[in-house]
Structure 1
Amino acid sequence: MSRGPDGAPAPFPAGKKARRKAARALAAQRATALAMAQKAVLASGSFAEEFADIEAVAAHHGNNHEVLVARFYKRDRAPMFDLVGTLEFEAVSEDRRVLDALGHARAHQSTTREYISDLYEGEPLDLGFASQNWQRAVRDRKRPGMLDRRRFEALVFTYLAGHLQAGDVAITGSDTFANWLDQLPDWEECGDKLAQLCEETGLPATAAEFTAALRGRLEATAAEVDSGYPDNADLVIDANGIPVLRKQRAKGVSAMAEALEAEVKRRMPERTLLGILSRTAYWVEWWRRFGPASGSDPKLKDPFGRYVLTTFVGGINMTFAEAARHISGVSAHELSAITNRHLSVDKINEAITDVVNAFMRLDLVKAWGDGTSVAADGTQMDTFIDNLLAETSIRYGGFGGIAYHHISDQYIALFTHFIPCGVCYLGRPEAVRYAA
């Protein structure tokens, strides 16, 4: 490498011919980079559209993303209007403002002008259900009584999806998005059982008694909280009257708990997950549930080992290629073929039933419970954003849904179903009775 007068590396080779070649290569690289940048900008529209987006963002600081939603909604506009034209919506409550806005948007579906009137059936359209950011995005101070058509359509479909998630809007004839009021039992069916229910739960039987009892419990709880506030080091009410709950520091593990853990580890030998799976397969023989769809015997040299390995790989969510790299004597093609040809949902459920039935015969199970109660709890699961069942969870701080589990008091998973984050079971008891 040639160097300059100060000893630093020269930007180009010392010879003229070499310098010209290096300069041409650098110019070619810059031209290629510029062409790629131009291609990326043109693919998104044009330079004018990019500058317009930059100006829109700069003019709406403060996390106001609503002004940019219409741009991404544009390509799905036609199928979304076709969908809402096919489905029949109904308001669950007396609030029909979202459906009125949807009707106004459908009335101007074929309109090509940028702004439309906000008059719906002779009255100004009520957009009080939308946030202030959305209302500012669809209205222009220079055009009173007009709505930005593209942004207004994005607003309507955004809030329609949200109301479908919350159950405020229903789809006639649907299963998942049906009117939940229609699924409640009639008073004629449950009225006769009210007295028995109140007696079993200890609740008052009349509305007046129920209200008085609830008010009394609230007053007693408030008095107890007020009297214990001076000694409560976790709850602080600031000068503005806002209560703040301090984070609790984790308590240290007691010596008795450490001794118990050490004794359990001493008596319980360490087992590998694959070893546990192999032992249960040997004693319970759940692997015999698997096989070809024809019902014939599997044409495998070692069906026991292959089925155990396939179950292990699928259970830990490992890909077949990863399993083949880490487990000798098996290929990714073999594991894939066994999964597709020898396993099915029904066969896996039959194998699970065999394991649960064998587990129920253990003496240790009887020490945990008698199988007449179940604990219910949920786990937040991440999902794609464009999913009507997905929403932001305040409790878990993520976006997705809740996998709601029901676990027997004998440590058996009874069933799990997926619900939105906003769904709440009334009372949400930690333990509910179920029919065995």
Structure 2
Amino acid sequence: MPWWICWSLVQKINARAERRVEKQLTAELKKVRGKEGILFRLADAAIGQPDETVRTALYPVVGEKTLRDLVAEAKANVKVFMAKVRTTLRSSYSSYYRQMLPPLLSTLGFHCNNTAYRPVMDALALLAKYADVDGKTRFYDMGDAVPMDGVVRKDWREAVVDEKSRIERIPYELCVLVALRDAIRRREIYTDGAARWRNPEDDLPGDFEAARTVHYAAIRQPMDPAAFITGVQQRMTDGLDRLSAAFADGSAGGVKVTTRHGEPWITVPKLEKLDEPTGLQALKDELVRRWGVLDLLDVFKNADFDTGFTDEFSSVAAYERIDRDVLQRRLLLALFALGTNMGIRAIVSTGEHSESEAALRHVRRHFITVDNLRAAVTKLVNATFAARDAAWWGQGTACASDSKKFGSWSSNFMTEYHARYGGNGVMIYWHVERKNVCIYSQLKSCSSSEVAAMIEGLLRHCTDAEIESNYVDTHGASVVGFAFTELLNFRLRRG
């Protein structure tokens, strides 16, 4: 808990500083006149003469000197923005947060397994050395070894080091806090007694070294790293050769190599709309004629009658004396209330049943747990797969994963402000099999990695689905994600 508070504070004061400066600079930039007209003339000239050179098409419209002045002004504005952010951030930290964060850090034990290069750990040791020094001491002693590489970013160097090569304490402490946050997130540094941020060596099986051969065989990878690298390189080379050949003979299906923002870019054409299958509308009409509009609670009840998923809900108490038929009815009502977000009170007031609110809340507290829910969902999903006729449905070996934001109370420890969607909330990350069956879901914070959530769902869905490929958006795709899925024999695809 203490580290989570420290992490959130570092993130919060940095975000607040940027928002304040953005508001100030936005008001100032609106006072500059003429830029919109210049940009319009440039765009009009570029569209009107797309095949001409810049000197031929644009310079006659807007002179070269004007363009150079615009670039210089833009660069100056970036420098002004960063300088103001640093000033605002320093002011917030020095006048308020600085009194609390260093003592909080001193109560936590930070460790690093890397014995060769540990700049953040050395920086923390320097902060501890100066913890009892008068806060008015502005600079570190010239004889102190102050780590810079790996701690202070380039855009902060001028704020940390003055013209006499002295290192100022307050901006350096801010850099250390940001570097510490990043180091813990990538597990380079861990904390004593932590759960999520524990020693990364504890994540390995206890017998990893003794049974290395067995573990490598389980993920079907060679023991020799050179053989693994050679295999990956060969597959990448073969794939690029096939792509190049397809471009050459015109069999790439409309895929082209273009440029975007001056960089090479592969474009894929949109698929044409398929014709509606013959008889689909007749099938829809027949379904409506036979069953009409189904009540969701009836569907839920029939699913339990067919699969018996409520049998997976056992009590956390030592024993329970509720009759199984009564418990089944109460479980269905409580689960329906939670799943539809109606709430137990609304179910009690509107439902045609004899269950009281106290009875349903008792079932909610004693029977509905995370483990019981996962077991029930797994049973229901597996029954769905078993009921499918492969001749009609095919073999589902792929899934897609993405997250959705849900609002939540600030008292929830996972609640964070979402920079993109706005407002406080949490994220639910879903893995959906290609035939629209959700095989795994998990709760995550707004800022945590979707790559990690994607890999967790692939490994821990515990259903009968044989997933070989997973489709993600930009947030779920990264070099690290592709590397781990390659090791685990999944094909990660960016949709």
Tell me the TM-score normalized by structure 2: 0.54
Mapped to 2, the partners of 1:296 and 1:426 lie a distance apart of 47
Mapped to 2, the partners of 1:163 and 1:389 lie a distance apart of 22
Maintained 8 Å contact 1:138/1:147:
yes
Once the two structures are superposed, what CA deviation does each residue of 1:51-77 show, in whole Å capped at 9, x if it has no partner? xx8799658326964443345556444
Deviation at 1:206, TM superposition (A): 4.1
What does residue 109 of structure 1 align with? Answer: 131
Which AA in structure 2 matches 1:100? Answer: D
How does 1:183-262 map onto structure 2 within 5 Å? 183-184=203-204, 186-191=208-213, 201=220, 206-229=224-247, 231=250, 233-238=254-259, 242-246=263-267, 248-256=269-277, 259-260=279-280
Q: Flag the 1:292–1:228 CA change in 2: closer, same or farther, 3 A.
A: closer
Once the two structures are superposed, what CA deviation does each residue of 1:284-309 show, in whole Å capped at 9, x if it has no partner? 777796999683559xxx98766544
2:184 maps to 1:164: yes
How does 1:4-19 map onto structure 2 within 5 Å? none
Which of 265, 268, 272 in structure 1 is aligned with 2:295?
Answer: 272
Maintained 8 Å contact 2:21/2:81:
no
What does residue 449 of structure 2 align with? Answer: 420
2:296 maps to 1:295: no
Mapped to 1, the partners of 2:230 and 2:385 lie a distance apart of 48
How does 1:13-32 map onto structure 2 within 5 Å? none
User: What RMSD in Å do the two structures reach over aligned CA positions?
Assistant: 5.4
2:336 maps to 1:312: yes
Which AA in structure 2 matches 1:133? Answer: D
What does residue 34 of structure 2 align with? Answer: none
Mapped to 2, the partners of 1:359 and 1:402 lie a distance apart of 19
Deviation at 1:243, TM superposition (A): 1.4
2:198 maps to 1:178: yes
Maintained 8 Å contact 1:404/1:416:
yes
Once the two structures are superposed, what CA deviation does each residue of 1:377-427 show, in whole Å capped at 9, x if it has no partner? 643354899989989999xxx997774759799968478585733534342
Once the two structures are superposed, what CA deviation does each residue of 1:254-302 show, in whole Å capped at 9, x if it has no partner? 332x74475266347342312212444567777796999683559xxx9
Deviation at 1:234, TM superposition (A): 3.8
Q: Which secondary structure does the structure 2 equivalent of 1:61 belong to? A: helix
Once the two structures are superposed, what CA deviation does each residue of 1:314-358 show, in whole Å capped at 9, x if it has no partner? 112234576678x37799x964x4454232364456587568657
Q: Flag the 1:353–1:228 CA change in 2: closer, same or farther, 3 A.
A: closer
Mapped to 1, the partners of 2:131 and 2:316 lie a distance apart of 54
**More displaced 10-residue stretch of structure 1: 343-352 or 379-388:** 379-388
**More displaced 10-residue stretch of structure 1: 129-138 or 158-167:** 129-138
Which AA in structure 2 matches 1:295? Answer: E
Mapped to 1, the partners of 2:276 and 2:309 lie a distance apart of 42
Deviation at 1:99, TM superposition (A): 1.9
Q: Flag the 1:236–1:421 CA change in 2: closer, same or farther, 3 A.
A: same
Q: Flag the 1:226–1:314 CA change in 2: closer, same or farther, 3 A.
A: same
In structure 2, stretches of 5+ residues that fail to align are: 1-16, 26-78, 453-480
Deviation at 1:161, TM superposition (A): 1.6
Maintained 8 Å contact 1:118/1:125:
no
Give the greater-gyration-radius structure (CA): 1
How does 1:35-46 map onto structure 2 within 5 Å? none
2:364 maps to 1:343: yes
How does 1:281-292 map onto structure 2 within 5 Å? none
Mapped to 2, the partners of 1:164 and 1:382 lie a distance apart of 25
Which AA in structure 1 matches 2:80? Answer: H
Once the two structures are superposed, what CA deviation does each residue of 1:98-124 show, in whole Å capped at 9, x if it has no partner? 2222222232234312622275x7334
Maintained 8 Å contact 2:153/2:175:
no
Q: Which secondary structure does the structure 2 equivalent of 1:244 belong to? A: strand
Deviation at 1:252, TM superposition (A): 0.7
Q: Flag the 1:165–1:239 CA change in 2: closer, same or farther, 3 A.
A: closer
What does residue 99 of structure 1 align with? Answer: 121
Maintained 8 Å contact 2:429/2:441:
no
Mapped to 1, the partners of 2:316 and 2:233 lie a distance apart of 64
In structure 1, stretches of 5+ residues that fail to align are: 1-49
Mapped to 1, the partners of 2:159 and 2:23 lie a distance apart of 11
Q: Flag the 1:274–1:190 CA change in 2: closer, same or farther, 3 A.
A: same
Once the two structures are superposed, what CA deviation does each residue of 1:215-264 show, in whole Å capped at 9, x if it has no partner? 333333333333334545544343986212336434313332x7447526
Mapped to 2, the partners of 1:389 and 1:68 lie a distance apart of 26
Which AA in structure 2 matches 1:274? Answer: L
Tell me the TM-score normalized by structure 1: 0.60
